[in-house]
Amino acid sequence: MDCAALLQQYKIPPGIWDEMATASGTRSQYNNIVAALQQYAVSDLQQKDRLAGELFMNQGITFTVYSNNEGIERIFPFDIIPRVITSKEWNHIENGIKQRLKALNLFLKDIYNEQQIIKDKIVPAALIASCPHYTREVFGIKVPYDIYVHISGIDLIRGDDGTFYILEDNLRTPSGVSYMLENREITKRLFPEMLHNNKVKMVSNYPLLLHEILLSLAPQQISNPTAVILTPGIFNSAYYEHTFLARQMGVPLVEGRDLLVDNHKVYMKTTYGLQRVHVIYRRVDDDFLDPLVFKPDSVLGVPGLVGAYRKGNVAIVNAMGNGVADDKAVYNYVPAMIKYYLNEEPILPNVPTYELSDVEQKNYVFENIHKMVVKRTNQSGGYGMLMGNKAEEKEIDDFKKAIEADPRSFIAQPIIKLSTVPCFINGKFEARHVDLRPYALCGPNGIDIVPGGLTRVALKEGSLVVNSSQGGGSKDTWVIDVE
Amino acid sequence: MLSRIADSMFWLSRYMERSDGLLRTVRTHYILMLDKGVNAHLSWQPVLKIFTQAKDEIISAIKDNSEASLDYLLLDGENINSLKILFAKARENARGVQDHITKEVWEHVNFMYHSINNLAPEHFNHTSVIEAIDTLTNSCILYNGVADTTMPRGLSWNFMSLGRYIERCLLTIELSDKYFSLIDYNIEDEKDILQWRPLLLSLSGYELHLKTYRTTTYNSNTLHQVLFNENFTRSVLYNLIRIERYFSKITKQEPSEKTEALNKMLGRLISKIKYTDFTSLNQKTMPSYLNDTRKELASFSRQLAEQFFSYY
């Protein structure tokens, strides 16, 4: 069978925004891709699918699953059909994210210094005081250029009318950017002519932009500052990404045991003795960074690091304590922050969110629980979540009990039917739900977002959970001009 | 360079070299066992003794069973020196230094790891064992080629080379000691060249031997080759000279008291080998000569680690 016939059979689920197909035909941004796909036989695509898997495997872009004491290497599933976003849509997204990040940076500066936003009663003090990620240990620390969020991966979803919503702000150590870059490299192998014909915007300069920002944060004006990436080590599931970025930027990849702090300065242990470190892009969570200040049994961090940070002798990217700004309950206040700090209307809306510590809102959520998704505020990765439309009564009751016991730790949102895109699954084109995570970089010269990002796709039919730990995969994401 | 990185580079290389040596020895041994002749009593015992830490009862249980021995030497998950574990350790080290080795080297080490994990014990039955070993050996050779053609000649390369030559030198001493002990270090005797085929083939030195040594004093000729022949890439002297070369490149950059002491230690060891009076080696002196050489090299390696790799 050829792909033209297969594309005819592509069915979109009712009441959902499909990024390629409408009831009457194909959206113009997909015209070129559809035309190109029609030239292939199904076996060609299956061949490409296999090749993609091999390329990921051979490059070691894998994660390890342990069972029976044996490690099994798996690749993150990759769907070969690219997801397309028009430049017009992209400009909207880009402006929205820039605006949001500006406000979030101002919020972090405020909340760890004057706390004006609390005094002006925009954000309730109780909300911040009860946030487990509000880090008193870093109160008052001055960070270079007042930038707290250098690297972010803000998650967007698209509702049934095509509106983009902000789902989550990931402001701590967002991962996945290596997949955005590798997915594009793989697509170059699979569909070179399609890339060429669509004039897809480049993403490959991301590591260069990141490197420039890291160097610009060096605390001293020296000609050749040392920036490093701090990784938890080879057993971390994102380790591949850490090595990828180190290689692309040409900076050392260090572990906590490679570093030490002496007289409030950070050094790395080299074969020729100690060498000063000026900037640390850490991929270790706050809690593990410094055993003297946070978890005392952490071996992933560096004793004394917070002291050096407080003295301004080392820059840490992202800043410590950012968790307060991407808390799922604080999320609800980001539109208000945008108004408060920037005096602007939010460009990208939030998903409506119910705070369960408010009795009225809680009652409303309980009455409509089958239309809601309930999330724990302190968990991510698709864990600690209740999908009201799919859950069993028992599960719902358990959640209700947990909410009654500790309402601050939960939020509820109406279930948004994420948009779908065509995926090549088992020799057919099938609609699957996706989100979008663009990667934004904030430096002294402003905010840069490479056009594209990581499209995560829920590969199970009908599933709305895109996290890789829950059977999600990814796609290459193209931003193209459409007349 | 980070001490941890240097350490991993060093061990990546050692594990790869050890794998190579293991494969060559296993192949030689397997093929020679198929001939009934002077080697009639050849068993897997010496190989198991050298390459594993198996208890005597395990060794005696499997030493005459090729398939069981091969499985133990190559695929066993319990044997910490099996090829499978060596590849896994090499890969683990490579993973930790991914940004210091070239993409090509990483991809090849990763490929080797996956390919041995895809091998099942049935690949080592009599019909396909040689083919399987050859594929793995070629993979090791390819690793050396890929590393040689793509790695930049900097500190990384120097530490990798140190690892490779130290491992190779130790292996030569170990193997030679084992085979000379079988004839009770009696080097005045002449014996049969066939007696030396397992050792020489395991070290890829059999052809060189035939071309170089024209007399029938096989025992002393073999000893000369494995210790002193500077053209033989697995001789002790050849490897010590390489070790000194790469070590001096590392220390030249920032000499210190400690590195100076290490330099002298290495110099003494090389001089000892280089200026050994060959006629002084006999049944009496041989065991301690080999043993001292091994000890001194091991001690050098330990102090090298203290100087450059300590990061805990």
Question: Is the Cβ of B213 closer than 8 Å to some Cβ of chain A?
Answer: no
pLDDT of B246 > 80? The answer is yes
- SS3 string, A4-64, reads HHHHHCCCCCCCCCECCEECCEECHHHHHHHHHHHCCEHHHHHHHHHHHHHHHHHCCCEEE
Element of type H or E holding A472: strand A472-480
- Nearest-angstrom CA–CA distance, A67 and A70: 6
B300, B239 Cβ separation under 8 angstroms: no
Same domain, A106 and A9: no
Pull the structure tokens for residue B195.
């007696």
Distance CA A112, CA A106 (A): 10
- Whether A463 is covered by a domain: the verdict is yes
Judged by a CB distance cut-off of 8 A, whether residue B110 touches chain A is: yes
Q: Are residues A284 and A399 in the same domain?
A: no
Phi (first) and psi of residue A280, to 5 degrees = -120, 115
Q: What is the mean pLDDT of chain A?
A: 90
B/e letters for B49-71, b = 16+ CB within 10 Å, e = fewer, are: ebbbebeeebbeebbeebebbbb
Distance from CA of B107 to the nearest CA of A (A): 5
Do B66 and B112 lie in one domain? The reply is yes
Mean pLDDT of all residues in chain B? 90
Q: Are residues B57 and B185 in the same domain?
A: no
CATH of the domain at A220: 3.40.50.11290
Identify the pLDDT of residue A333. 95
Final residue of a structural domain among A386, A414, A442 = A414
Are B3 and A269 in contact (CB < 8 Å)? yes
Q: Residue A378 sits in a domain of what CATH number?
A: 3.30.1490.270
B15 and B131 housed in the same domain: yes
Chain segment B46-65, per-residue pLDDT in tens: 889 889 988 889 888 988 88
Domain boundary among B119, B151, B183: B151
Q: Is residue A229 part of a domain?
A: yes
Amino acid (one-letter) located at A147: I
Residues B84 and B206 in one domain: no
Q: In this predicted structure, what is the pLDDT of residue A76?
A: 84
Asked whether A333 and A127 are in contact (CB, 8 A), the reply is: yes
Considering the domain boundaries, does residue A9 fall inside one? yes
Chain A residues inside the 8 Å CB shell of B111: 58
For an interface test with B, the pick among A72, A271, A274 (most B C-beta atoms closer than 10 Å) comes out as A271
Query: Could you tell me the pLDDT band of residue B266, with boundaries at 50, 70 and 90?
Result: very high
| Chain A residues inside the 8 Å CB shell of B254 | 272-273
* Domain limits for position A398: 355-414
Domain assignment present for residue A410? The answer is yes
Per residue, the 3-state secondary structure of A199-214, as one string, reads: CCCCCCCHHHHHHHHH
pLDDT digits (tens, 9 = 90+) for A347-385: 999 999 998 888 899 899 999 988 899 988 877 666 778
Q: From its phi and psi, is residue A250 left (phi > 0), alpha (psi between -120 and 50) or beta?
A: left
**Cα–Cα distance, A454 to A178 (Å, whole number):** 9
- Same domain flag for B189 and B288: yes
CA torsion sign, B134 to B135 to B140 to B144? positive
Domain hosting B104: range is 1-151
The pLDDT assigned to A472 comes to 85
Confidence of residue B291 (pLDDT cuts 50, 70, 90): very high
Looking at B97, B116, B151, which one is the last position of a domain?
Answer: B151
A105 within some domain: yes
Cα A182 from Cα A162, distance rounded (Å): 28
Query: CA-nearest residue of chain A to B156?
Result: A271
Q: Which of A317, A342, A367 is the last residue of a domain?
A: A342
Q: Residues B133, B259: one domain?
A: no
B80 CB near a chain A CB, below 8 Å? no
Using the beta-carbon criterion (under 8 Å), do A58 and B110 form an inter-chain contact? Answer: yes
Distance between B115 CA and the closest CA of chain A, angstroms: 11
B151, B172, B206: which is the final residue of a domain?
B151
| Confidence band, pLDDT 50/70/90 cuts, at residue B188 | confident
The strand pair at A439-443 and A151-153 is best described as antiparallel
| Chain A residues lying within 8 Å of B95, measured CB to CB | 60, 234, 239, 243
For B152, half-sphere exposure in the C-beta direction (CA atoms, 13 angstrom radius) is: 8
**Chain A neighbors of B110, CB-CB under 8 A:** 58-60
Can you tell me the ipTM of this complex? 0.70
Q: Are residues B291 and B257 in the same domain?
A: yes
Does residue A376 sit in the same domain as residue A474? no
- State pLDDT tens for residues B196-227: 888 999 999 998 998 888 888 888 899 999 99
- Supply the DSSP symbol for B44: S
Q: Looking at the structure, do residues B95 and B110 belong to the same domain, yes or no?
A: yes
Q: Please tell me if residue A273 touches chain B, with a CB cutoff of 8 Å.
A: yes
- Amino acid, res. B29: H
Tokens 């003795």 identify what position? A273
List C-alpha distances in Å: A398 to A148, A394, B77: 37, 6, 44
| Same-domain status, B138 and B192 | no
Other Cβ atoms closer than 10 A to B312 = 7
Number of folded domains that form chain A: 3
- Residuewise pLDDT in 10s, chain A (483 residues): 678 888 888 888 888 999 999 888 899 999 999 999 998 999 999 999 999 988 888 887 776 666 555 666 678 889 999 999 999 999 999 999 999 999 999 999 999 999 999 999 999 999 999 898 999 999 999 999 999 999 999 999 999 889 999 999 999 999 899 999 999 999 999 999 999 889 999 999 999 999 999 999 998 778 889 999 999 988 888 888 999 999 899 899 999 999 999 999 999 999 888 999 999 999 999 999 999 999 999 889 999 999 999 999 999 999 999 999 998 889 999 999 999 999 999 999 999 999 888 889 989 999 998 889 998 887 766 677 888 888 888 888 888 888 888 888 889 999 888 999 999 998 889 999 999 999 999 999 999 999 999 999 998 888 888 877 677 899 999 999 887
pLDDT at A308: 95
Whether pLDDT at B311 is above 70 = no
Number of domains in chain B: 2
| Residue A354: strand pairing partners | A412
What pLDDT shows up at residue A69?
57
Query: Which residue shows structure tokens 């050692």?
Result: B14
What are A196-211's pLDDT values in tens digits? Answer: 889 999 999 999 999 9
Q: Are residues B139 and B275 in the same domain?
A: no
Pairing of strands A253-254, A227-230: parallel
Residue A93 near residue A440 (C-beta atoms within 8 A): no
CB B305 within 8 A of CB B3: no
For residues A110 and A134, membership in a common domain is answered with yes
User: Could you tell me if A104 and A243 lie in one domain?
Assistant: yes
In this structure, the answer to whether residues B70 and B120 fall within a common structural domain is yes
Ranges of beta strands (E only) in A111-209 are: 151-153, 155-158, 164-168
B105/B144 Cα distance (integer angstroms): 9
Does residue A307 sit in the same domain as residue A233? Answer: yes
Same domain, A112 and A143: yes
Q: Do A212 and A335 sit in the same domain of this protein?
A: yes
Same domain, A447 and A404: no
Whether residue B182 sits in one domain with residue B141: no
Q: Is residue A366 part of a domain?
A: yes
Tell me: do A194 and A149 sit in the same domain. no
Domain membership of residue A175 (yes or no) is no
**A28 with A482: CB under 8 angstroms?**
yes
DSSP E strand stretches across A56-154: 62-67, 70-75, 78-86, 151-153
pLDDT computed for residue B150 by the predictor = 96
Summarize pLDDT for B152-184 with one digit per residue, the tens.
Answer: 999 999 999 999 999 999 999 999 998 898 888
pLDDT of residue B110: 92
What is the C-alpha separation between A467 and A321, in angstroms, rounded? 24
Cβ-based burial of A394 (10 A; exposed 0-12, middle 13-18, buried ≥19)? exposed
The nearest CA of chain B is from the CA of A269 a distance in Å of: 6
The whole-angstrom separation of Cα B298 and Cα B173 is 11
Option in B99, B107, B111 nearest A253 (CB): B99
Cβ(B217)–Cβ(B192) below 8 Å: no
Q: Is residue A281 part of a domain?
A: yes
A144 and A245 within one domain = yes
A130 and A223 both lie in a single domain: yes
Token pair belonging to A97: 């994210």
Q: What is the pLDDT of residue B189?
A: 77
**pLDDT tens digits, residue range B97-155?**
988 899 999 999 999 998 898 887 777 777 788 888 999 999 999 999 999 999 999 99
Query: d(Cα B33, Cα A146) in Å, to the nearest integer?
Result: 74
